[in-house]
């Protein structure tokens, strides 16, 4: 997975609910960017627009 891309949750839902698709960790930082809710994995940095 390319960690520089912000993936859209509608196109790529979680493989395991509530866990990162890349590293399977469940710790996230959340932010609002341009009106979108962005979830970023604290371990690997993978981002999804929720």
* The predicted structure's pLDDT at residue 1: 78
Predicted local confidence at residue 50, as pLDDT? 93
The Cα–Cα gap between 21 and 34 comes to 24
Tens-digit pLDDT profile for residues 6-39: 999 999 999 999 999 999 999 999 999 899 999 9
> Which tokens in the block code for residue 42?
């604290």
Tokens of 11: 């196109």
CA distance 24 to 32: 23
pLDDT at 25: 96
Spans of all domains in the chain: 6-49
Taking a C-beta distance cutoff of 8 angstroms, is the pair 44, 25 a contact?
yes
CB 43 within 8 A of CB 25: yes
**Once rounded to an integer, what is the mean pLDDT over residues 42-47?**
96
């Amino acid at each position: 997975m390319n960690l520089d891309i912000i993936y859209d949750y509608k196109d790529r839902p979680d493989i395991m609910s509530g866990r990162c698709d890349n590293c399977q960790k469940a710790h996230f930082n959340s932010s609002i960017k341009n009106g979108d809710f962005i979830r970023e994995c604290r371990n690997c940095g993978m981002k999804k627009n929720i």
